[in-house]
């Protein structure tokens, strides 16, 4: 199972949405656009840029229309936005986006606290939204979060996540991104999660959205690669900490992911040096150092000194 | 190859030596001893505590004798120290340590800059030291560094590292720890490195000493586990940054390693909660936050809040 890896992989950048939404200080729209442009320039072809959520909910993303209107258009880059309700979907269609993303949890408590809906209510909503989105010509992607564990309930029965993922594909979602929302996943569990998913869904319709809260994201990605998964979500610089453990890392850093993939000879189309530039822009935008390890190494690598006995 | 993993693994703690040696500010001997005691209490049974190096070289470890004299003795814990020359070995024997560690590079430039000896000179020296150490009843462990890459030469031919590791075992070293000194390793390379090594040496005589400079340490450990390696070096909190990229992570954090191993059902004998306490002591000793991810997550985990749309 660990003998072969895919020849290429898709890196799905979520920093501008999933990363920035947690920032308390309002980031100017131009800075967001500069970051998105830098990410696209680095070769990322899937970028989630914002959320058409109520500005009352997430003031940081109140400029969704302005961001989408000014996106650097390119035939190679697909931009998407999170769409939490009918109004959001309409805004997304009006803004001219070609891809919408739905958000669900497989844990009831997380679903309630996160989107204020039971899992069944969320499924009912997205059933309606998917029809409308597809009719309007949008592609739809779904996130199923808390697959590896829930901050409120602990372990979540795998069948529930599998059922939910299957439902989303049946609704017309081209891909379901499985989230380790709190970054608890370890490789044996990941193998079990993916075995369960792959029994019901083809690898191409699955993505992994791993958090690096306990340092295990890339080890889990490695398991995914060995099982044929080829799409991985990541956030530039690791933007977007873990809201359940303040100060801890959240999203897997895009540079770390790309470094590992490239090192394994897996094509991503991403230029790591340009990606580091985007990471530096992200750091400037939020005004602090981000947790991504490759970013720190690349920023510090100019100096070199020997230390006796360095193992 | 990825189908089965070992039932138990040895975590070899190098923080008190490999971590602290890079600290500029002198750390009081009592703090070092408190840290070592906390590590032993957490269940670590292999701890490298200091280096019998000249105080002119590494002033931080000038208290080697005092540290060793006051170690919390336990029949389960084996303490070791780095021994760079004959004088160091004699000091180590006089101090009553039962294990010594040798340090080599498979890259000529790194060897020269790091221990001021060519690789051949280092081998000649350790040939002599090994005889004396074994005659005195010590066990001997060797580090072969720069196996995954050299900060000066880039790629290092694998045969050289294999040859060097084989030589060290022939001299009587019970184990050779293979170092990714600059943290560049990725999984396909790791598989190749280990295939090369395992063609000449049994897995039990090999350990992995991975740096997490680009976030890939645990993914590389996972490859090692799948190939039968059962000893992994790590440093509490990730103590010991990368001297080649200031500000970047160096040693793999012990908590991150133990978290992954335990999550995979691999027994380590380490209590993760007590290990976090040791990590907090290490942070206090060096006066700053350490890079270990689990440590940050555990320190921040008390607060919990929901963020809308958190994937």
> What does the pLDDT read at residue B311?
61
pLDDT at A50 over 70: yes
Report pLDDT digits (tens) over B246-291. Answer: 888 899 999 999 999 999 999 999 999 999 999 999 999 999 999 9
> What does the pLDDT read at residue B304?
42
Report pLDDT digits (tens) over A194-242. Answer: 999 999 999 999 999 999 999 999 999 999 999 999 999 999 999 998 8
pLDDT at B308 over 70: no
> What does the pLDDT read at residue B246?
83
Report CB contact under 8 Å: B215, A294: yes
Among A115-119, A154-158, B1-5, B296-300, the least confident range: B1-5
pTM above threshold 0.90: yes
Report CB contact under 8 Å: B187, A264: yes
pLDDT range class, residue A54, cuts 50, 70, 90:
very high
> What does the pLDDT read at residue A303?
39
Q: Which of A223, A242, A249, A275 is an active site residue? A: A242
Report pLDDT digits (tens) over A158-202. Answer: 999 999 999 999 999 999 999 999 999 999 999 999 999 999 999
Which whole number is the average pLDDT over A132-141?
Answer: 98
Which whole number is the average pLDDT over B117-143?
Answer: 98
Among B218, B243, B306, the residue with its CB nearest the CB of A215 is B218
Which whole number is the average pLDDT over B69-75?
Answer: 94
pLDDT at A302 over 50: no
Instruction: List chain A residues with CB under 8 Å of B242.
Output: 297, 300
Q: Which residue of A has its CA nearest to B300?
A: A245
> What does the pLDDT read at residue B242?
83
DSSP string over chain B? --S---SB-EEEE-IIIIIGGG-SSPPPHHHHHHHHHHHHHTT--EEEEEE---TTT-GGGTTHHHHHHT----TT-EEEEE--SHHHHHHHHHHT-SEEEEEEESSHHHHHHHHSS-HHHHHHHHHHHHHHHHHTT-EEEEEEE-SS-BTTTBS--HHHHHHHHHHHHHTT-SEEEEEETTS---HHHHHHHHHHHHTTS-GGGEEEEEB-TTS-HHHHHHHHHHTT--EEEEBGGG-S--TTSTTS--BPBHHHHHHHHHHTT-B----HHHHHHHHHHHHHHHTS----HHHHHHHHTT-----TT--
Is ipTM over 0.90?
A: yes
Report CB contact under 8 Å: A244, B216: no
Active site residues of B: 242
pLDDT range class, residue B1, cuts 50, 70, 90:
very low
Q: What is the mean pLDDT of chain A?
A: 94
Mutation choice for A interface testing from B243, B266, B309 by most A CBs within 10 A = B309
Could you tell me whether strands B46-51 and B231-234 are parallel, antiparallel, or unpaired per DSSP bridges? unpaired
> What does the pLDDT read at residue B247?
84
Among A29-33, A56-60, B148-152, the least confident range: A56-60
Instruction: List chain B residues with CB under 8 Å of A247.
Output: 296, 299-300
> What does the pLDDT read at residue B241?
82
> What does the pLDDT read at residue A304?
42
Closest CA to B86 of B39, B149, B131, B25: B131
In percent, the amount of chain B with pLDDT more than 70 equals: 95
pLDDT at A1 over 80: no
Report CB contact under 8 Å: A215, B310: no
In percent, the amount of chain B with pLDDT more than 90 equals: 90
* Measured torsion, CA atoms of residues B214, B216, B221, B224, in degrees rounded to the nearest 10: -110
Report CB contact under 8 Å: B296, A115: no
Q: What is the mean pLDDT of chain B?
A: 94
pLDDT at B155 over 50: yes
> What does the pLDDT read at residue A309?
55
pLDDT at B310 over 70: no
For A269, other C-beta atoms within 10 Å of its C-beta total: 14
């Amino acid at each position: 199972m660990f003998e072969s890896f895919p020849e290429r992989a898709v890196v799905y950048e979520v920093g501008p949405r999933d990363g920035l939404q947690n920032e308390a200080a309002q980031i100017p729209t131009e800075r967001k656009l500069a970051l998105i442009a830098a990410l696209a320039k680095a070769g990322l072809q899937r970028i989630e840029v914002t959320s058409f959520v109520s500005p009352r909910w997430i003031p940081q993303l109140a400029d969704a229309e302005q961001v989408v209107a000014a996106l650097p258009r390119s035939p190679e880059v697909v931009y998407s936005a999170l769409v939490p309700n009918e109004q959001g979907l309409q805004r997304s269609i009006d803004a001219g986006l070609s891809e919408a993303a739905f958000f669900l949890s497989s844990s009831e408590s997380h679903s309630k606290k996160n989107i204020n809906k039971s899992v069944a209510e969320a499924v009912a909503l997205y059933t309606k939204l998917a029809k409308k989105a597809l009719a309007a010509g949008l592609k739809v992607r779904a996130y199923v979060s808390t697959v590896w564990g829930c901050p409120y309930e602990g372990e979540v029965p795998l069948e529930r996540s599998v059922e939910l993922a299957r439902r989303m594909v049946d609704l017309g979602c081209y891909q379901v991104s499985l989230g380790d929302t709190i970054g608890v996943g370890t490789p044996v569990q990941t193998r079990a999660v993916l075995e369960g998913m792959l029994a019901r869904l083809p690898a191409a319709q699955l993505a992994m959205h791993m958090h690096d809260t306990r340092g295990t994201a890339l080890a889990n990605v490695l398991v995914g690669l060995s099982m044929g998964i080829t799409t991985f979500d990541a956030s530039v610089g690791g933007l977007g900490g873990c809201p359940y453990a303040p100060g801890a890392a959240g999203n897997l850093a895009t540079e770390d992911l790309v470094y590992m993939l490239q090192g394994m000879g897996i094509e991503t189309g991403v230029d790591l040096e340009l990606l580091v530039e985007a990471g530096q822009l992200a750091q400037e935008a939020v005004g602090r150092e981000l947790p991504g390890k490759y970013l720190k190494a690349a920023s510090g690598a100019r100096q070199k000194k020997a230390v006796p006995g360095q193992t």
